[in-house]
Structure 1
Amino acid sequence: MKKLDKQKVFNIIQIGNKEDRPSHAFDIFITITILLNISVMVLQTYEQFSNFFPIFDAIALITMIIFCVEYGFRIWTADCLYPEDSHPKAVVKFLLSFDGIVDLFTILPFFFLSGFVAFRILRVIRIFHLFRINGQYDSFNIIFSVLKEKKNQILSSMVIVLILMLSSSIGVYYAEHDMQPYVFKNAFSGVWWSVSTLLTVGYGDIYPITTVGRIMAIITAFLGVGVIAIPTGIISAGFMEHYSKMKLLNNFARDEQVDLLTIRITEGHCWNGLQVSKIGVPDHFLPCVVMRDGEALIPVPDFTIKIGDTVVLAAEGFFSHSY
């Protein structure tokens, strides 16, 4: 097939906009396929539907074939996704990307239906296929952007949780080992109890019976409420910050303020088909939002610019005087 044909296939299987009818039709088709596959996976867990299992199996087979074909097309067109790389290198990049891993784990159980339990559990990963339905849009991009931006703070809070978990598990071991030697056999046997107490789950299968152990449980539970709230607060603050920026940028983009440079992507534009990390941005400007089909999208580095998009560039000092 010609290079042009490969580019056409790539444009179709990539998440498109409503004006690109073939791509939009494929988006709808693959979305229905994903929902059908997940619905069948859920319905097959109900014994009362056993009479319909052959039909479910047929639907699952058809949807998995579609996933396999799509996966093959994505591997074939990987060099269109990463045009600066050779095809082998582009394929490796795709296979190691989030979409590539999810696609692989989606079809992997199909070839190991009667294999190890681990392969059957991989069926659950099909649910992550839903992320790709809205993968280019604000809601999902904000999640990943917040986690990436706040990763240092989140990591620090996780270290605090880990330290508290280990210290409480070691402490409860020394407090309970003599009274419950078969329950708290060693220092790490209290990890399960520590996690359930810190997260205020309290399954009740393992619990302290000594006075010291119970006092430790009370202290651990109180500390757990406060410590777990730290990463929650960090993420919540990140969401509020991003949504505030998006609201501000939306208003400025519509009003065409001085600090913004608006670029409409037409056919033949040098940015068409490129990822945000690869476009040549004018000096002292940064891509801050992409308007597509009336929606404001976050231009993350791997976001692909398409025909019809409006790219809004903000001056580097924009945020410093906009709040």
Structure 2
Amino acid sequence: MGAFRKHLHNQLFVGALPDGRLTLTNKLLILVILLAVATAALATEPGIAANWHEAFLVMELAFGVIFLLEYLARVFAAAEEPGESSAWAKRWRFIRSPIGLIDLAVVVSTLMPLIAADAAMLRTIRLVRVLAVMKFGRFNRALKEVWGAVTDRADDLIVTVALAGMLVLFGATALYMTEGELQPEEFGSIPRALWWSVITLTTVGYGDAAPITALGKFFASLQALAGIALVAMPTGIIAAAFSEAMQRRRDQQIREMRDHLERLDEVDEAVEAKIAALERTRNQGP
């Protein structure tokens, strides 16, 4: 039983193996999660749900059984976690841990639609399970580098957000002053004009509101051009931060490799000295 529990722990818990790679079991579980999310999304389409209602129920039941068995297996295998605590203390610690609560939420979100009529939003919690897997193991360093790249340029990004807020308010004020009387529903107040300003600045441009006066079109043109420049700013900032983070990682790898080579040279010199000493002892004879 102990060997089986240890094998189960190595298969289910990311990072249990020395190399930190995802096991085949975890890869299959990620595939099941993605299939479950896709099924939940398709079930919200009336045309598809009407023809495949029973099939969706069967699939949801199958997903629920899989996730429930996975959760119970994790609770059982949690006794193999490192530490001096008892097996049940380790299991209780896993149940209360973030990853344990996510697993429980996935089980509840899968079984809830079988009780409630519409719980599509709950079923999207399964995606959090994929992110939880990526949070550990080999992905942990990559996530830290991405987060570090963003935090390193936090001041630049804050300035960009502040500039965007100023441009949004300027555009809304300009269109309120030039178009407010002509189009009161769209530009009758600055809060009403904010919708148009945000959509224009982000270069989405739904077309549900547009200026009709020459001066309004002039301000709208400035807003659109400013939006193109503004969208490029955070993209360039984050791209530069990522490039610097990757360069730091390459430099660190180079340093680690050089340190390793230096240690190998020291070992080689020590081995050669030991061999020379043994040869001298052999030549001296008894």
Question: What is the Cα deviation at residue 148 of structure 1?
Answer: 3.4
For the residue of structure 1 that corresponds to 2:156, the secondary structure is: helix
Question: What is the Cα deviation at residue 90 of structure 1?
Answer: 6.7
Aligned to 1:280: none
Runs of 5+ consecutive residues of structure 2 not aligned to the other structure: 264-286
For the residue of structure 2 that corresponds to 1:209, the secondary structure is: coil
- Please say if 1:31 is aligned against 2:30: yes
Question: What is the Cα deviation at residue 157 of structure 1?
Answer: 1.7
When residues 103 and 157 of structure 1 are mapped into structure 2, their CA distance, relative to the original with a 3 A threshold, is farther
When residues 173 and 90 of structure 1 are mapped into structure 2, their CA distance, relative to the original with a 3 A threshold, is farther
Q: Cα deviations across residues 125-161 of structure 1 (Å, max 9, x unaligned)?
A: 5334332343331544433332333333323321221
Q: Distance in 1 between matches of 2:238 and 2:168?
A: 21
Match of 1:176 among 179, 185, 209: 179
Q: Cα deviations across residues 100-138 of structure 1 (Å, max 9, x unaligned)?
A: 569737844753678698x53354453343323433315
Same amino acid, percent of matched pairs: 23
For the residue of structure 2 that corresponds to 1:182, the secondary structure is: helix
Match of 2:217 among 214, 218, 226: 214
RMSD: 4.5
Q: How does 1:222-261 map to 2 (within 5 A)?
A: 222-256=225-259
Contact between 1:106 and 1:122, CA under 8 Å: does it hold in 2? no
Does 1 or 2 have the higher relative contact order (CA < 8 Å, sep 6+)? 2
Contact between 2:40 and 2:120, CA under 8 Å: does it hold in 1? no
Q: How does 1:252-271 map to 2 (within 5 A)?
A: 252-256=255-259
Runs of 5+ consecutive residues of structure 1 not aligned to the other structure: 261-323
For the residue of structure 1 that corresponds to 2:187, the secondary structure is: coil
Q: Distance in 1 between matches of 2:222 and 2:123?
A: 40
For the residue of structure 2 that corresponds to 1:47, the secondary structure is: helix
Contact between 1:169 and 1:193, CA under 8 Å: does it hold in 2? yes
For the residue of structure 1 that corresponds to 2:182, the secondary structure is: coil
Aligned to 1:149: 152
Q: Distance in 2 between matches of 1:110 and 1:165?
A: 44
**Matched AA of 1:143:** V
Q: Distance in 2 between matches of 1:128 and 1:65?
A: 19
Aligned to 1:131: 131
When residues 220 and 155 of structure 1 are mapped into structure 2, their CA distance, relative to the original with a 3 A threshold, is same
Q: Distance in 2 between matches of 1:82 and 1:229?
A: 50
**Matched AA of 2:35:** L
Q: Distance in 2 between matches of 1:51 and 1:236?
A: 46
- Structure with greater proportional helix content: 2
Aligned to 2:105: 104
When residues 112 and 41 of structure 1 are mapped into structure 2, their CA distance, relative to the original with a 3 A threshold, is closer
Q: Distance in 2 between matches of 1:82 and 1:212?
A: 72
Q: Distance in 1 between matches of 2:7 and 2:144?
A: 26
Question: What is the Cα deviation at residue 200 of structure 1?
Answer: 0.9
When residues 194 and 111 of structure 1 are mapped into structure 2, their CA distance, relative to the original with a 3 A threshold, is same
For the residue of structure 2 that corresponds to 1:165, the secondary structure is: helix
Taking structure 2 as the reference length, the TM-score comes to 0.67
Q: Distance in 2 between matches of 1:153 and 1:172?
A: 29
Contact between 1:106 and 1:125, CA under 8 Å: does it hold in 2? no
Q: Distance in 2 between matches of 1:197 and 1:116?
A: 39
Structure 1 range deviating more: 140-149 or 194-203: 140-149
- Structure with greater proportional strand content: 1
Contact between 2:9 and 2:16, CA under 8 Å: does it hold in 1? no
Contact between 1:17 and 1:24, CA under 8 Å: does it hold in 2? no
Q: Distance in 2 between matches of 1:102 and 1:221?
A: 45
Q: Distance in 2 between matches of 1:191 and 1:256?
A: 58
When residues 153 and 199 of structure 1 are mapped into structure 2, their CA distance, relative to the original with a 3 A threshold, is same
Question: What is the Cα deviation at residue 237 of structure 1?
Answer: 1.0
Q: Distance in 2 between matches of 1:67 and 1:101?
A: 11
Q: Distance in 1 between matches of 2:75 and 2:171?
A: 48
Match of 1:185 among 170, 184, 188: 188
Question: What is the Cα deviation at residue 213 of structure 1?
Answer: 1.5
When residues 19 and 195 of structure 1 are mapped into structure 2, their CA distance, relative to the original with a 3 A threshold, is same
- Please say if 1:53 is aligned against 2:56: no
Q: How many residues align?
A: 255
